[in-house]
């Protein structure tokens, strides 16, 4: 058992160390020597757990995706659904991007997935599926107009959010990400929700941004 724990701890150290390297250097420039140094392990220990740089990168993506999954679980357990769930999820992911190096590295690696032998598509499909589910609930609650497709909207929101957080990173190191995420919804939702629901939903946006930012 002690040996298993040591192996688990070493693997987690490699993933954490690799995240700092991938976050700062990107996949192409990151070297196994840099990852070993950042992880505090030998290259032999590195190769014991991972057979390639791509395998390490995918482990970082998996760790990031697991953290994102906790958001969906928490929303489900709290009973949050519909537009409130979609909005809350976006702000909580934004907070993870500001606070967690594994999340920042995992997102960067997902965007650089074309460098891998097999493209990274799973996280995108999962995020689209989660948002589509929330929007389907919103439609059932009467919070989307009849001509808005939850699937089409989800396929727009995820690329839009990806672009928003990328530009926020470039311009402000994500200091303004909460503002930009709120603006994304402010521009998108008026054309998607019934007019008599808009003021309530706009208040939801402001409240969610405030609550998430104050929890830091």
pLDDT of res. 180: 97
pLDDT of res. 131: 95
* pTM (2 d.p.): 0.90
CA dihedral sign of residues 105, 16, 172, 175: positive
Q: Answer yes or no: are the C-beta atoms of 157 and 89 closer than 8 Å.
A: no
Q: Report the alpha-carbon distance of residue 12 to residue 26 in Å, rounded.
A: 19
> How deeply is 135 buried, as exposed, middle or buried, from its count of CB atoms within 10 A (0-12, 13-18, 19+)?
buried
pLDDT of res. 207: 95
Q: How many CB atoms lie within 10 A of CB 52?
A: 11
Q: Report the alpha-carbon distance of residue 214 to residue 216 in Å, rounded.
A: 6
pLDDT of res. 54: 92
Q: Answer yes or no: are the C-beta atoms of 65 and 123 closer than 8 Å.
A: yes
Q: Which domains, from first to last, does the chain contain?
A: 57-214 (1.10.357.10)
Hey, what's the torsion of the CAs at 173, 212, 72, 164, to 10 degrees? -30
Classify residue 174 by its DSSP letter: T
Beta strands in the chain (DSSP E): none
Contacts of 25 (CB under 8 A, 6+ apart): 34
Q: How many CB atoms lie within 10 A of CB 33?
A: 11
List, run by run, the mean pLDDT of 10-residue segments along the chain (216 residues): 72 92 92 92 87 93 92 91 96 95 93 79 90 96 94 96 95 96 96 94 95 83
């Amino acid at each position: 058992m002690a040996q298993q724990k040591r192996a688990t701890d070493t693997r987690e150290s490699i993933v954490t160390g690799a995240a700092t390297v991938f976050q700062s250097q990107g996949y192409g420039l990151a070297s196994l020597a840099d990852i070993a140094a950042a992880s505090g392990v030998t290259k032999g220990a590195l190769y014991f757990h991972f057979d390639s740089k791509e395998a390490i990168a995918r482990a970082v993506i998996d760790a990031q995706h697991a953290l994102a999954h906790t958001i969906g679980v928490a929303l489900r357990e709290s009973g949050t659904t519909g537009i409130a769930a979609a909005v809350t999820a976006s702000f909580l992911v934004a907070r993870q991007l500001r606070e967690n190096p594994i999340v920042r590295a995992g997102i960067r690696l997902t965007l650089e997935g074309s460098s891998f032998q097999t493209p990274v598509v799973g996280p995108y499909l999962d995020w689209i599926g989660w948002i589509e589910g929330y929007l389907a609930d919103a439609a059932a609650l009467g919070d989307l107009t009849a001509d808005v497709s939850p699937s089409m909207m989800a396929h727009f929101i995820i690329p839009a959010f990806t672009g928003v957080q990328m530009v926020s990173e470039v311009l402000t190191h994500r200091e303004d990400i909460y503002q930009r995420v709120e603006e994304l919804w402010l521009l998108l939702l008026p054309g998607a929700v019934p007019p008599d629901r808009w003021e309530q939903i706009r208040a939801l946006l402001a409240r969610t941004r405030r609550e998430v930012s104050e929890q830091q």
